[in-house]
Amino acid sequence: MRMKLLFSLLLFASVVAEFFVLKHVYFPWEDVPLFYAAFGFVAFVLFMLGAKYVLLPIVRRGETYYDD
């Protein structure tokens, strides 16, 4: 419970700090507020869906694979 609270506070602090940090942007979309947070979340969700629906059927063994 304590670690979850600490993680949540650090996450909130990093989101708030993004509005006060001077950024040197190279692309216009980098200047959008919370761009990196949204990009990271979408990438994580796509990674998890890919792992579940693409990779899992490839590496899954049958139920009786380890039986003699």
Is position 46 within any domain? Answer: yes
Please give the full DSSP string across 41-58, using - where no structure is assigned: HHHHHHHHHHIIIIIHHH
The answer to whether 12 and 34 are in contact (CB under 8 A) is: no
Average pLDDT of the chain is 90
**What global pTM score does this model have?**
0.67
Is position 16 within any domain? Answer: no
Q: Specify the number of domains making up the chain.
A: 1
- Which pLDDT score, from 0 to 100, does residue 28 have? 92
- Which pLDDT score, from 0 to 100, does residue 45 have? 97
Is position 8 within any domain? Answer: no
Is position 1 within any domain? Answer: no
In the structure, what pLDDT confidence band is assigned to residue 68 with cuts at 50, 70 and 90? low
Domain hosting residue 31, numbered range: 22-61
